[in-house]
Each structure stands twice: as C-alpha cells, then as structure tokens.
Amino acid sequence: MKFTEGYWLRKESVQASYASQAYTVEEIPNGMRIVAPERPIRSRADALDLTALVVEFVSAGHNDIAVTATHYQGYDNWEPRYDLNWNPDPVTVEITDEEAVMTAGDLTVRVRRSDFYYRFEAGGRLLTSSGFRNLAYMRTKKRPMSYRPGPHYLTMEYEPYMVSELSLKPGETIYGFGERFTPFVKNGQTVTMWNEDGGTASEVSYKNVPLYVSSEHYAVFADHTGPVSFEVGTEKVEYVGMSIPGEEIRYHLIYGATPAELMDNYTALTGRPALPPAWSFGLWLSTSFKPEYDEETTGKLIAGMQDRKIPMRVFHFDCYWMKALHWCDFEWDDAVFSDVEGMLARYHEKGLKICCWVNPYVGQNNDFFRDGLANGYFLQRADGRGIKQVDNWQPGLAVLDVTNPEACAWYADKIRDLLRKGVDAIKTDFGERIPTDVEYYDGSDPEAMHNYYTYLYNKLVFETIEEERGVGNAVLFARSATAGSQKFPVHWGGDCSASYASMAETLRAGLSFAMSGFSFWSHDISGFESTATPDLYKRWVQFGIFSTHSRLHGADTYRVPWIFDEESVDVLRRFSELKNTLMPYIFRMAVQAHEHGTPVMRPMAFSFPEDPACRYLDMQYMLGDSLLVAPIFNEEGISDFYLPEGTWKNLLDGEILTGGKWYRRTYDYFHLGVFVRGNTLLAIGGNTQVPDYDYTQDLTLHYYLPADDLECRAEVTDLTGKVILTATATHREGKVDLQLKGDTIPDKLRYVVHLADGSEETGELS
C-alpha cells in the first residue's frame, strides 16, 4: 500500500508518525527494546503530546533476528499466528549514548540513537538498513478529534497501519512471495498477500507467502497471517516497503551465507517439509474434471496406460466421484461406482495408489451439510443470522470452520473413511475463497484468517492421513498455501491454460514458490483449460516429468496421450521410465529437502548466486544439485539456455559443452536440454516401471566429467530416507578411485566414467 505522493509528500488523507530517535534503550531477554518517538526529545517539553513506537530486536533462531514495532501495546486484533519454532542464538547487547548494538550468531543490528537509523550486518558487511522516514505509524482516512461532548471527544477516528521499509542496494534482486505468475524477479512490483482463485495469468495467487529473498543473502519474513502489502522498489525505488493494518508490525531478518543456508534457517523457523512417499514421485493420471466417467471408463483409462506400457503409479478421482450438487459430502456416486471398495482393491492389485478430490466447502443438498448445520460446524454470518452461504461453486455452499475442534474431528472422520476404503492420497482443492464477513468459532479476525485458513485445512487432512497411514506415508495434492504449508506436501500450480505462454508462467510461479520455502511442486501437464496441441502436450510432458511430481489432469478432455497422437504415447513412456531410473538421485534430493528445506527444483539464482547471468533466468532450473533442465517453450523445438561455469554433459544426447555461455539448440520430442554438472557422481537405478524400489538393486554409478583431485559423492537411501550406501569418486592421473561404504553394498555394481573427450569407460565393482 502506498502512503506517499512521490518521494517527499504524503497523501493528504495520511498522518504519519515516523520513528525518529532511539530515546531509551534497554536490554531484554535475547535482545533489546527501544522507545522511538516521532520527533527527537531534547527537553522535558519535547516529551509531551507525541506518538512513540516501541521497537524490539530479539534473536528468534540461528541468524534470525525478529523485529517488532508497536504503537498501542494493549491492542488485540485477534490475529491468528503462524506456528513458529523459536531457538535463539546467544545474544550480546552493547548500549552507549551514540548507538545500541546487538549481535546474535553471524548477524548484528546496529542502531544509531540520534535519528533511529539501523542496519543489519553479517561479517561486517551491510545487508540492509532502515532510516529516514522508514518506520512509521500511519493514520489514514482520519477524522479530527473533538474537545466537545460526543463520540470523538479526545479520539481521532482513522484506519491504522504500521509501515516498515528496508533498503535495496544497486543491482539487488528480490524473489519469493509465494507462487507468483508475474516476473520471477519482483523488483518493481506491488505484491499483496491475499489468496485467491485467480488462475495462472495474473498477479493474483493461490499461494501467498509473506517472505522475500534477496540476492544479498538475506530474507525478510513478515510474521502476519493477514494482508501484508509489499512495495518492492515502487513507492520508494531504494526500498522494499511492507505495511499491515493495525497497531503492530513484525518481521524476521534472516541471514545465510548461501541460499541453501538461508532456506535452512527459514524452514527451521516455519517448519521443514514432510518427506513424501517415494511412490508419489511416479506418474499420476487423473479422470480430469468435466468428462463423463464411471467405473468402466476409469478401468479403460488405466488399461490403456498399462497396455501401452506407460509407467503409472497413481490414479486420481476428481470431483465427480461424488454426485453433482453434493460436493463435498464424501459419498461416492453409487449410480456409477457400485462397488467402491472392490474397485479400489482391484486397482491396488494393478500396482496403483489412489487419490481422491475434496475441498472444505459443503453444498446444502445433502445429509452431510444438514449434520454440519445442526452442530454449528460452518462459518457463521457476521450479522448473527445463521451460517454464511453462497451459490458460488455449489448451491448454498457453506465453509467448514477449521477453528472448531469438533468440526475438524467431524471432517477428519470423512477423510478417515475414504482412507479405510482404500484411498491413499487426498487432493485438497480450494481453500482460497474464504469469506471475511463471518465469525469464527475461536473469535479469530476473519481478514487475518483468509490466508491462514489453508494452513489449518491442509494440516487437518495431512495429519489425518499420517494417523491412518503412518509418518512418511502421507501426501496431499494441494492448491492453496501460506507460510508453513510446506510441511504438508505436495502443492500444484492451479488452473493453467494449454499454451506455451501459460507453461512459461507456470514455471515462473514454481521458481518463486521454491524461493518461498517450498520443496515439492507440480502442475497440470499440458494445461488445465482447453486441450493442448500434440506438440505442446509432448513438450509439457518433458517439463512435467522433470518436476518433482508429475500429473496428467485437465478440464474438458482426458489427458491420456493417445488422444493426442501415437508419438505422445512414446514420449510419455520414455520420460516416465527415465524419471523412475533417476529416483535414487531424486529421492536423495527429497530427503535433503526434508532435512534442510532445500528445494528440489531450484532457480538458477539459488544454485549459482554469484553468477550475475543467473539472477533473472526463469525458463530453466536445477533439479537437485547436479541436473540442469531447460524446457522448450515453442513449436520450433528451439532451446536457448545458459550454462554456468564448468563443463556439462547432456544426459540425453551426450553433447558436452563448456559453461559460462549461452547456447541455442533444436531438439526433437525425445530430447531437450538436460545437462549433468561436471564432476558429478550420479546414481541411476535399474527399475523403469515404478519410482519406489530398492535403489541399490541394478544400480549404476555414472561419473560425469571428472575433475582431477576433486572428490564427488553420491548417496543412496532406502524408502524411509535413511542413507544406506555412500559412494565417493576421485580422478587422479587418469585413474578413477571409487569407494563404497554403508549398510547395503551390492555384490556387484556397475559404473560408467564419462570423460571430457566424449569417451566412456565402464567397469564393475564386486
């Protein structure tokens, strides 16, 4: 939100009180507290009739300083709070007449007392700062107070906001804010945290996360569930401004020497992602949204995939597993599914896992709704006249009150019943269309709950699956999210369209999502809206298979490949088989994400932060540590990609290229730019049909482009994520030294050395 007209002038409707002096400073547990008046106090008279902010700097975790600035400390806005994990660093505070200095871990905040200028430093290097007119309490739309009898006696009527601004350096780039379809670098954008069902082609987002990440090795997390607004070099081009309605603003300044360290520290605060089961990384096929289907149809879809030998691991039932106008009452449509448990058992026998679609909205034409109505399980109207209902999506739709424990248990019982019938995963759709003219069971502020609703909704479903299936066996397919939702994977990118432009905006959003603390992400291969051309279908299959999770889903048609052309069948089979063989590597990257919050799909700016050419790249990415993926976004099959410094080898066609350069290549549908980083030891499995298998069986270690005297390592896990085999390789004087250790060492293990001249050496360890 903008409060100024240009740089110098405030809007006429705004009265600003800027923090202008660190008048008093005191040490408090794990930090320091400052009283900052709106004008310098130099005499007793100066201390009268003024506004003062109370500002606290407190260590919240490793290299994480929490900042709180408050106007009225007694004000309670009933805002729900994120579930954060505080684990402070040891703190030192030094206070003099000139400055106050607090150090925690590698972070220092230095406050100049005379004018309340403060700066964050790491290793003596400036990260960002706040000074002249950067921290303020804003009174907007104000009506003057009165000294006469009446409702405004000594009280000014206005809408309060707290504002904080942090400086930008020349060339500094900003990323994050959740899954956003706008340009990947967020400089020059106004970003408001407000979840909405808006598709993938606008500034509206399903997944708002009040976190931004800077190329200067720090991140800022606004600790507010409500509608925080960010001005990223817009209102003031030298600053990122953030504002929130109310009397207090809270944020964390988090530092990391590398993007991986930074994400480790952030997810230590907001939560690590659960490790999805290995089977979830296989190919998912959906019934799709609108096409007619019944048990005969679903059987034909599954048989069609298996007859064509396309590896498929999950079959998904979308909305119409329930009767029309009955969403979401959790009752199978018995007119088309007469033997649900038998059907699901038969699909399990075919080697499939099963997913079902749900959402937190309940139309009124069913007994489930009437039960919820009688027990008060839905959001209530703010005027007290019953529950909130709309005719949007379903007639008479009501919304589950996720703050009511009895309502949550009632809803969880329905999820539990699905699981006990044979369902393995849940697609938790929606969670964005949450009304604000309502009352919650626990009294939470409805505007602040709008974004936070999705966290409680997905947490409820995820934990119910964990209770039934056990830790490590729970997986969602969720559309909406906010900070902390990374704990409940997987998320997908929403309603994209069948076009190359939409495919590109989908990737941009996924990269922004990765910069926002999320490790696992998917999208509707070939687009949700409309039906793709065969060309687009095949190119999107390549992109989709090289995402962490891969799903065929759409609106108007089934997304099975044979409706496009026969070559689509071959392309889907080829890349699905390839992904299964890469699972020893991909699942190890997933375990790394689970342990440290490092995303599996990584923006180039994340993996190569010191390479200025990578800062704006949003049409290619790293899949884990070692694979660079450059999808194709045009009908000509032309790929323009950048390779960072080093030597790279194409995984698919064997071409070896030198990095630090841009390249243009043209690829057929069985090839694209997938490059292995030099000096990589890549573990490739021997099972092409499923993603969950013993990764040590028929394992081949590929040693790509060895660098002399530089050791490289590959770790192989079991399906729980435990490392059971570690291989290290070193190349010296033309010879390879390959060492193995671990709990599970195969009797025989094949290896291939890919040399820089294009030749290969093969061997076997026994």
CB contact set of 301 (below 8 Å; sequence gap of 6+): 285, 287, 293, 315, 558, 560
Its pTM stands at 0.97
Q: How many CA atoms lie within 13 A of 301 on its CB side?
A: 27
pLDDT score recorded for residue 114? 98
Please determine, for residue 766, whether its predicted confidence score (pLDDT) is greater than 90.
Answer: no
Q: How many CA atoms lie within 13 A of 553 on its CB side?
A: 26
pLDDT score recorded for residue 730? 95
Please determine, for residue 153, whether its predicted confidence score (pLDDT) is greater than 80.
Answer: no
Residue 146: pLDDT band (50, 70, 90) is: confident
Active site residues: 429, 432, 495
Q: List, for residues 588-612, the tens digit of each pLDDT value.
A: 999 999 999 999 999 999 999 999 9
pLDDT score recorded for residue 765? 86
Please determine, for residue 142, whether its predicted confidence score (pLDDT) is greater than 90.
Answer: no
pLDDT score recorded for residue 138? 96
**Lowest-pLDDT choice from 140-144, 341-345, 623-627, 734-738:** 140-144
Query: How do beta strands 647-650 and 656-658 pair?
Result: antiparallel
Residue type, 579: K
What phi, psi does 387 have (nearest 5°)? -90, 160
pLDDT score recorded for residue 152? 73
CB contact set of 292 (below 8 Å; sequence gap of 6+): none
DSSP count for the chain of H helices, then E strands: 11, 47
Mean pLDDT of 265-278: 98
Q: 10 exposed, middle or buried (CB, 10 Å; 0-12, 13-18, 19+)?
A: middle
CB contact set of 619 (below 8 Å; sequence gap of 6+): 504, 507, 630, 631, 633, 640, 641
Please determine, for residue 154, whether its predicted confidence score (pLDDT) is greater than 80.
Answer: no
Residue 382: pLDDT band (50, 70, 90) is: very high
Mean pLDDT of 182-207: 97
Please determine, for residue 271, whether its predicted confidence score (pLDDT) is greater than 80.
Answer: yes
Give the 3-state secondary structure of residue 562.
helix
Pseudo-torsion of CA 585, 214, 617, 619, nearest 10°? 60
Residue 129: pLDDT band (50, 70, 90) is: very high
pLDDT score recorded for residue 586? 98
| Cα–Cα distance, 639 to 653 (Å, whole number) | 14
Domains 11-75+88-166 and 601-765 equal at CATH topology level: yes
pLDDT score recorded for residue 149? 83
Mean pLDDT of 87-114: 98
pLDDT score recorded for residue 415? 98
Mean pLDDT of 292-298: 94
Closest to 332 in 3D by CA, of 324, 345, 344, 323: 323
Q: 42 exposed, middle or buried (CB, 10 Å; 0-12, 13-18, 19+)?
A: exposed
| Cα–Cα distance, 531 to 555 (Å, whole number) | 8
Looking at every residue in the chain, the average pLDDT score rounds to 97
Percent of the chain at pLDDT > 90 equals 95
Please determine, for residue 512, whether its predicted confidence score (pLDDT) is greater than 80.
Answer: yes
pLDDT score recorded for residue 733? 86
Mean pLDDT of 10-14: 90
Residue type, 558: Y
| Cα–Cα distance, 594 to 60 (Å, whole number) | 21
**Lowest-pLDDT choice from 7-11, 84-88, 481-485, 544-548:** 7-11
Please determine, for residue 156, whether its predicted confidence score (pLDDT) is greater than 80.
Answer: no
| Cα–Cα distance, 259 to 358 (Å, whole number) | 35
Residue 491: Cβ within 10 Å count: 28
Give the 3-state secondary structure of residue 295.
helix
Domain ranges of the chain: 11-75+88-166, 601-765
Q: List, for residues 392-417, the tens digit of each pLDDT value.
A: 999 999 999 999 999 999 999 999 99
Does the domain at 601-765 match CATH 2.60.40.1180? Answer given as: yes
Please determine, for residue 22, whether its predicted confidence score (pLDDT) is greater than 90.
Answer: yes
CB contact set of 65 (below 8 Å; sequence gap of 6+): 31, 57, 58, 59, 102, 104, 107, 109, 120, 252, 253
Mean pLDDT of 728-747: 92
Q: Which residue has the higher pLDDT, 372 or 708?
A: 372
Does the domain at 11-75+88-166 match CATH 2.60.40.1760? Answer given as: yes
Please determine, for residue 489, whether its predicted confidence score (pLDDT) is greater than 80.
Answer: yes
**Lowest-pLDDT choice from 152-156, 166-170, 233-237, 511-515:** 152-156
Q: List, for residues 445-455, the tens digit of each pLDDT value.
A: 999 999 999 99
Residue 748: pLDDT band (50, 70, 90) is: confident
